[in-house]
Structure 1
């Protein structure tokens, strides 16, 4: 029943949009039915009030819409906070050897297993561990390559 109701509402909405945009009557709607919709439904005062209220409510929903798990207001507040911190600590930020992503983490805070940043490799516990392991792997590969080279040179000297 929900599916049928949804399809019915969608069909009525498409018809209303055609009427509002001054498009010709759809072929599947009889001329009498079209006139009835205009006179008894879309020109009705109650319908007009509900339509206006729905427009207002949709505007409120869009203002409070979320980006990820944070609302637009929260993001704006965090951005303001970040700009204030940047203005206050400009000399420290520019002279610090800390990457910019770490500054974001200091201002915005950290979440376990969640990275915040600006599109470059960000720093959190999981990322730090992954980076540490990558460095260890690369170091062991370099040691292995050096050992192979020493072994190869040892065998070449014996021949």
Structure 2
């Protein structure tokens, strides 16, 4: 989820990490054990005058399968479920309106199941997870293609990114 946002003007930082669970400062291994209740997530710091929250939500939808409640592509389990975490009422309203618009669009034949929930404490992931697409570009590309993610995005969104 880092790369698509990293490439946008007005995005100041994108940090990989974990949120929504019960363990303070969880490790990747703990989160993957499905015992902490965390989601793998990104924390995005942005300039709303350059890249408004509405655009963040729209780009997010274009990176996921919002109809899959069991994870994303090859990554299965609760820590890989999609979610939009909002920090204030305005963000919640924008995210809910965007989700309703996507649902009404008919783009997907199954219901949109991505929840919109209040932000919880965010814990940055280990250093080796940060900007993984830059550190391991060949692996990142193989995964994107092999998991079906790239084809899914192309099928539903084409070149609109």
Query: How would you bin the TM-score normalised by the shorter chain?
Result: under 0.3
Per the normalisation by structure 2, the TM-score is 0.22
Q: Indicate the structure with greater helix content.
A: 1
Larger-gyration structure (1/2): 1
TM-score relative to the length of structure 1 = 0.22
Greater relative contact order: 1 or 2 (C-alpha under 8 angstroms, separation 6 or more)?
Answer: 2
